[in-house]
Structure 1
Amino acid sequence: MTEKQSLKASCLCGAVTLHAKNAKSEFDACHCSMCAKWGGGPFLGVECGSEVTVDGEISVFASSDWAERAFCGRCGTHLYYRLKAHNAYVLPMGLFDQRPTLAFEKQIFIDEKPDEYSFAEKTPTLTGQEVFKLYSE
């Protein structure tokens, strides 16, 4: 069972702060093409549930029918990915003010991962189709 923790996060310039009340103690790597375009490579994110508060000026972009991505309105730091139907936030692991101890849980959209890199850790993997099935249940 996943242990939950309360974590604080902030953007690069400090204008936006976030508080995740129920962050998981694991992180996932997403290899989808949107995450690669968003951040220049795989997205390393922590599932934080729906109890996330955001203070500061942000810009929100509806990146698909089912999700949105937010940025700091001043420095452009990537703040979160949110699944609209579940109001589920995923925060980049690098945002947390105190680096939590996190376990590498899984890799998603493995079918979109480029051949140019791979992680040394062996984790469970899900294709895009498996991810959509998992979150539609």
Structure 2
Amino acid sequence: MKGTCLCGAIEVTAPKHNEVSLCHCDMFRKRSSGPLHAVHCGPGVTFSGAEPKRYQSSQWAVRGFCAECGTNIYYHLLATDEYILSAGLFNEPDFKLSLEIFTDEKPAYYDLQPHSKKMTAQEVFDQYAPEE
């Protein structure tokens, strides 16, 4: 899959995926006033053009965005080298919603797919966060 940020300065190439998940965590909502529509692409992601600006938002992850237009590019899990990319980057989005996470942090003012799998913040941490 190929995609770009809003201004086109960053091009992303990733393995083909057809599922998108939503993250309702307060960090993504603060960043964009809504959930992240995420495509889990694993480590096989390349970037060309401008270098994404990086922000380490937690001990286990770095967020990348375009320094020119501000487009959210990725959420990078450091322990597994997995890239979770913003679904809006891709030119031919043929995605199906498969999972919603941090559902306990989702505000009441929006609802999405009633039949997708949902996980609370604690369930996400139990599955993905490194043990200390």
Of stretches 11-20 and 112-121 in structure 1, the one that deviates more from structure 2 is 112-121
Q: 2:81 aligns with which of 87, 91, 111?
A: 87
Q: Report the alpha carbon displacement of residue 134 of structure 1 after superposing the two structures with TM.
A: 1.3
Matches within 5 A, 1:68-79: 68-79=62-73
Cα RMSD (Å) = 1.4
Question: Following TM superposition, by how much is the alpha carbon of 1:103 offset from its aligned partner in structure 2, in angstroms?
Answer: 1.3
The structural deviation recorded for 1:36 is 0.6
Q: Is the 8 A contact 2:22 2:100 kept in 1?
A: yes
Aligned length: 129
Kindly, what percent of the aligned residue pairs are identical? 41
User: Structure 1's 118 and 78: CA in aligned 2 closer, same or farther, altered over 3 A?
Assistant: same
SS at match of 2:116: coil
Q: Which runs of 4+ in 1 moved over 2 A?
A: none
Structure 1 residue 60, shift from structure 2 partner: 0.3
What is the TM-score normalised by the length of structure 1?
A: 0.88
Q: What TM-score comes out, normalization by structure 2 length?
A: 0.91
Name the residue aligned to 2:46.
53
C-alpha contact (below 8 Å) 1:57/1:74 kept by paired residues: no
Q: Within 5 Å, which residues of 2 pair with 1:10-49?
A: 10-21=4-15, 23-49=16-42
Aligned residue number for residue 115 of structure 1: 108
Counterpart residue number, 1:129: 122
Whether 2:58 is the aligned partner of 1:64: answer yes
Deviations 1:37-69 (A, max 9, x none): 121111111000001011123210001111111
The amino acid that maps onto 1:25 is N
Work out whether residues 24 and 102 of structure 2, in 8 Å CA contact, stay in contact via their aligned partners in 1.
yes
Q: Which residue of 2 aligns with 1:105?
A: 98
Residue identity in the other structure for 1:135: Y
Alpha-carbon distance in 2 for matches of 1:32, 1:63 = 12
Q: Secondary structure at the match of 2:14?
A: strand
